[in-house]
Amino acid sequence: MAVVLEVEGLKKKYGSLEALKGISFKVEEGEIFGLIGPNGAGKTTTLRIIATLLTPSDGKVTFLGFDLKKHPEKFREKISYLPEEAGAYRNMKGIDYLNFMAKFYAKDEAEVREFVERAKRICGLGERLKDKVGTYSKGMTRKLLLARALMTKPALAILDEPTSGLDVINSLEVREMIKGFTREGVSVLLSSHNMLEVEFLSDRVALIDRGEILDSGTPQGLKEKYQASNLEIVFRSAVQ
């Protein structure tokens, strides 16, 4: 499998606070790679750096052969980022929001229509897309945003806590949406403190705590290595 994203010795400091202490990992084409760890472990900082929102203090990030520091614009062209607490423009209708976002990525109007049609299928919001985003529930907004992130078929979708704040039914639907999309060749880098969710979704995972990657591998491989029944126990063992 070809490597889509390579992170080497990534560090991030906020003044004296070292949020990332030199983490390294790779994401391969078509796989779902999960970063799991507690709140404040450095997951969001890692994703924000790859999404070009934050600048690294040290280390190297390469995406499809492009260096982050030299070509952030190449990252933005091919990456879709879904922040944990993302929102959409409340005064826009759902369909207008999708159109607005699609235009940044599409070459022409035909491609805009193609992206929006795909988003409609992904989110499954149907007629509600004609309503203003301000009238949506949290679950509906999240589905809209996830559809926005995946509609352009990005080379890498970065999803920060994709089911954050959603109820059980909505969480299940969102997980199915993510899983289904990688079948079309999209790589996904996701983070969650819900280790069971990551175990269900990810092909490979990295355990991150206090800015360091403790271990990484397939969920099954890690469970075997730590003789654990699930990733939560794996994480506890790795921390100890």
Contacts to another protein by CB under 8 A: 14, 48, 51-55, 73, 76-77, 79-83, 85-91, 100-101, 103-105, 145, 148
163: left (phi over 0), alpha (psi -120 to 50) or beta: alpha
Which residues, including other chains, have CB under 8 Å from residue 73's CB and lie 6 or more apart? Answer: none
As to burial, measured by CB atoms within 10 angstroms (0-12 exposed, 13-18 middle, 19+ buried), residue 73 is exposed
Contact (Cβ atoms closer than 8 angstroms) between residue 18 and residue 38: no
Which residue number, 51 or 206, has a Cβ lying nearer to another protein? 51
Q: What angle do CA 31, 213, 30 make, to 5 degrees?
A: 5
Which residue number, 44 or 171, has a Cβ lying nearer to another protein? 44
Which residue number, 145 or 177, has a Cβ lying nearer to another protein? 145
Which residue number, 93 or 120, has a Cβ lying nearer to another protein? 93
In the complex, the smallest distance separating the C-beta of residue 229 from another protein, rounded to whole angstroms, is 36
Tokens found for residue 167: 């109820």
**Residue closest to 36 by CA, chosen among 169, 174, 195:** 195
Which residue number, 53 or 239, has a Cβ lying nearer to another protein? 53
In the complex, the smallest distance separating the C-beta of residue 182 from another protein, rounded to whole angstroms, is 20
In the complex, the smallest distance separating the C-beta of residue 148 from another protein, rounded to whole angstroms, is 8
**CA torsion through residues 144, 145, 149, 152, sign:** positive
In the complex, the smallest distance separating the C-beta of residue 11 from another protein, rounded to whole angstroms, is 14
In the complex, the smallest distance separating the C-beta of residue 205 from another protein, rounded to whole angstroms, is 24
In the complex, the smallest distance separating the C-beta of residue 83 from another protein, rounded to whole angstroms, is 4
Amino acid identity, residue 171? Answer: S
Report the half-sphere exposure of 36 (CA within 13 A, side-chain side). 32
